[in-house]
Amino acid sequence: MAQSLAGKVALVTGASSGIGWELARQLALEGCRVGLVARREEPLRQLAAQIAAQQGTAVPVVADVGCRPQIEAAFAQVRAQLGPIDLVIANAGIGRPTLRDPVNMEDVEETFRINLMGVVYTVSAALPEMLARRSGHLVAVSSLAAYRGLPAESAYCASKAAVNVYMEGLRLHLRGTGIKTTTICPGFVTTPMTANNQFHMPQLMTAEFAARKMIRAIRAGKKVYNFPWRLTLLVKLSRWLPDAVIHWAMGDYETEAQHAVAQRRPDQPLPP
């Protein structure tokens, strides 16, 4: 049976744009009081103002999920202003191509720091209070890319695969504690992170549509939610395809990735 989220306190990381923005906005419409966490202050304030204009409650907090002290301070601030946190959505993530020669090591390290350790730090900041109350819901936004390694996307796919396995082990470890976990693996979503993709993105979804599907899965208490289903099936079937087929399907993505990294300005800000 789907549960109501009205009256809950939710914390969403990566809330300054894309899926995180839509998750926070829609949760507020459902009656949640929402903690908004991301690295960029101005977009967070804009979202908080939009939620307030819709008669909702939101607290913006600037923090880098890849920095444990910052995320723990963010949780403390949200608790102080909104009360005990019932729902945590570890959504913040980045997507950087993995180059071949030379390997862009700084991008690889940053991908794991944000995509994997950001989830671990977010979960660890939420757990003590939830364990004490014997209630709560931990959600990690992963990706269908977790199920298949792709050329020029080794770090991104691996970081998301690690999130899936981490959440799976956590779910088993938390059995009997009253705390639920959900791992959400969407396909392609229109966000700033996918805006520069030059390749075809099948079944591309808007952030609004994706967030609506995610919240439905959270309300239903699903353990793992992969969507859209046709792309999910395609990705899982691709694990049985010869490497040559995958290489052919990705076309010139390696060259495009090399160009994208070369064109990125050194001072270009990271996604939320």
Give the catalytic positions in this structure: 156
Cβ count near 125 (within 10 Å): 24
The helix-helix angle for 118-133 and 154-173 (nearest 10°) equals 10
Contact 10, 53 (CB under 8 A): no
Residue with tokens 């071949």: 100
Residues 6+ apart with CB under 8 A from 185: 142, 143, 144, 146, 147, 160, 164, 224, 225, 226, 227, 232
**CA distances in angstroms from 10 to 55, 151, 262, 272, listed in the order given:** 16, 36, 38, 18
Nearest partner of 226 among 138, 158, 147, judged by Cα = 147
- Whether 227 and 213 have beta carbons less than 8 Å apart is answered as yes
